[in-house]
């Protein structure tokens, strides 16, 4: 299938999913039809995202511990984290994507799970993860649906833990491109992470080397030690257990 036909197919899937009021439902159709073929999944490239890899070299990034990868796709970033020494859990709303992760990475230590960002199990939040890696998942969900997706990502960061987010970027005032996916994210939207108890550590706003270039944000947020977000009923305080 050529690029134009794949784009047309995705736009149709997105439209009908949104009409059904289930904006994340189309991913399963796409992955199921692709049957593991990377060329039928526009964002799959059989390698870890290089903006994530460069982000791991930023000062103060964790070098091990428990890591969570929401919307893991075919698992390339999750596998890279495992190679870096993290104990990784990775989830995706698409069962077919997770089946493919298990097939591709047969002897992997990564725990692959089917899961919906909007219905996360409490065991992701407590005790939380030392690193949460969000790459291109929120931008794949249109506004206003993704508004409530920032909170669950933040809630999975343990006290003392880190969120590394890599995303397409747009100005706060810019219209969201109706032609997505992706639907670029604004700095103002990311305030939602801070509303869930994270503090901004670094924010990079740059153009990548694609033709034409894409504006990207790479952000690092931290949860102060000793603060635990309960996810539903606000923030409570606890002592860090030294996992």
Burial label, 60 (beta-carbon count in 10 A; 0-12, 13-18, 19+): exposed
3-state SS string for 160-200: EEEEEEEEEEECCCCCCCCCCCCCCEEHHHHHHHHHCCCEE
Q: Cβ closer to ligand SAM: 120 or 159? A: 120
Closest CA to 117 of 156, 153, 143, 155: 153
Q: Cβ closer to ligand SAM: 72 or 80? A: 72
Tokens of 52: 């994530």
- Which single residue is written with the structure tokens 């030294």? 242
Q: Give the x/- contact pattern for ligand SAM in 82-111, rule: CB under 6 A.
A: ----------xxx--x--------------
Contact 28, 22 (CB under 8 A): no
Least separation in angstroms between residue 220's CB and ligand SAM is 17
Q: Cβ closer to ligand SAM: 42 or 127? A: 42
Question: Which residue, judged by CB position, is nearest to ligand SAM in the bound state?
Answer: 71
158 binds ligand SAM (CB under 6 A): no
218 binds ligand SAM (CB under 6 A): no
156 binds ligand SAM (CB under 6 A): no
Helix (H, G, I), strand (E, B) or coil at 40: helix
**Can you tell me the distance from the alpha carbon of 228 to that of 240, in angstroms, rounded to the nearest whole number?**
9
Least separation in angstroms between residue 223's CB and ligand SAM is 21
194 binds ligand SAM (CB under 6 A): no
Q: Given candidates 34, 90, 135, 157, which one binds ligand SAM under the rule CB under 6 A?
A: 135
Q: Cβ closer to ligand SAM: 93 or 157? A: 93
Least separation in angstroms between residue 148's CB and ligand SAM is 10
Q: Phi, psi at residue 153, to the nearest 5°?
A: -60, -50
Q: Given candidates 73, 128, 169, 197, which one binds ligand SAM under the rule CB under 6 A?
A: 73
Least separation in angstroms between residue 67's CB and ligand SAM is 13
136 binds ligand SAM (CB under 6 A): yes
Element (H, E) at 229: strand 227-229
Closest CA to 159 of 234, 229, 88: 229
**Can you tell me the distance from the alpha carbon of 122 to that of 233, in angstroms, rounded to the nearest whole number?**
13
Which residues fall within 8 angstroms of residue 11, CB to CB, at 6 or more apart?
179
49 binds ligand SAM (CB under 6 A): yes
137 binds ligand SAM (CB under 6 A): yes
Tell me which residues in 2-41 interact with ligand SAM (CB under 6 A).
Answer: 24, 27
Catalog residues that contact ligand SAM under the rule CB under 6 A: 24, 27, 43, 49, 70-73, 92-94, 97, 116-118, 135-137, 140-141
């Amino acid at each position: 299938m050529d690029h134009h036909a794949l784009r047309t197919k995705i736009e149709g899937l997105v439209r009908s999913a949104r009409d059904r009021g289930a904006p994340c439902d189309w991913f399963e159709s796409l992955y199921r039809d692709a049957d593991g073929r990377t060329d039928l999944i526009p964002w799959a490239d059989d390698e870890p995202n290089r903006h994530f890899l460069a982000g791991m070299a930023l000062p103060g990034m964790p070098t091990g511990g428990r890591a969570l990868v929401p919307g893991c796709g075919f698992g390339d970033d999750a596998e890279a984290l495992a190679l870096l020494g993290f104990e990784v859990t990775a989830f995706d709303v698409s069962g077919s994507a997770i089946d493919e992760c298990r097939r591709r990475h047969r002897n992997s230590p990564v725990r692959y799970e089917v899961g919906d960002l909007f219905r996360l199990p409490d065991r992701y939040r407590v005790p939380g993860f030392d690193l949460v890696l969000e790459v291109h998942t929120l931008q794949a969900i249109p506004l206003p649906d993704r508004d409530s997706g920032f909170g669950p990502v933040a809630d999975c960061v343990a006290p003392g833990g880190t969120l590394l987010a890599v995303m397409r970027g747009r100005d706060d005032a810019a219209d969201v491109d109706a032609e997505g996916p992706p639907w670029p994210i604004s700095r103002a939207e990311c305030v939602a992470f801070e509303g869930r108890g994270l503090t901004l550590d670094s924010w990079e706003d740059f153009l990548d080397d694609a033709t034409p270039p894409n504006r990207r944000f790479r952000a690092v947020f931290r949860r102060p030690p000793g603060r635990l977000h309960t996810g539903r009923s606000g923030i409570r305080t606890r002592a860090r257990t030294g996992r």
